[in-house]
Structure 1
Amino acid sequence: MTMSETEMMLKGYGLTTAEFFYGMPDYVHVLNSFVWQEYDVAPDHPRLFEFIEYWQREIEGPLHSVRFNHRKMIAPGEWRNVVGEFTLH
C-alpha cells in the first residue's frame, strides 16, 4: 500500500531534487544533465541513493556529478491541529 503525499510529509519526508551530470555514451567529454525529483527522508536519502545505484547499474552514460537539494514541505512549527472553524457571512 502506498502512502499519499500528505501522509509522507507528515511522516518526515521532504522533496528531494537532484541534478545529474553525465557523459554521453559515444561522446564522454560532452556533459548532459537530467533532473530527478522524489519524496525522500533526510539525511540518509535512501531513494536518491537507490536511484544512483540504478543509474550506475543500468544506464550507459557515466555519472560525472550529482547536485541535490532537500526541502521539508511541512516543518514542525508550520503544522497545527485545528479543532474548530468560525464562518462570518
Structure 2
Amino acid sequence: MRAELALVRERGYALNEGESAVGVRTLAVPVLNAKGEAHAALALRSTPELLPDAALPRQLARALACANALEILLLPPGERRVPKGE
C-alpha cells in the first residue's frame, strides 16, 4: 500500500483498474489546500471502453485543470491566486 501511495504522489494521479468495482476504471487527482496537502480528490469514473488508454492523457490534463480551479475556489477570496500556467 505504501509503495502504491508513493507512486500516486510521484505521478500526481491515481488510476484504479477495476480494483474497487469490476468493469469500472477510475482516474483521480488531488485537490490541494493552500499548504499543498491533499484536501479532497476529483475522480473520473467510467468503463474501460469509454475511458481507453489513448484517452487517459487528455482526460488527466482536464482533471488536473479542474482540480486546480477547485483549489483556487476553495481558498478565501483574499488568498486566491492566478492559476498555474497563466
Higher relative contact order (CA 8 A, sep 6+): 1
The structure with the greater share of residues assigned to helix is: 2
Q: TM-score, normalised by structure 2?
A: 0.33
The structure with more radius of gyration = 1
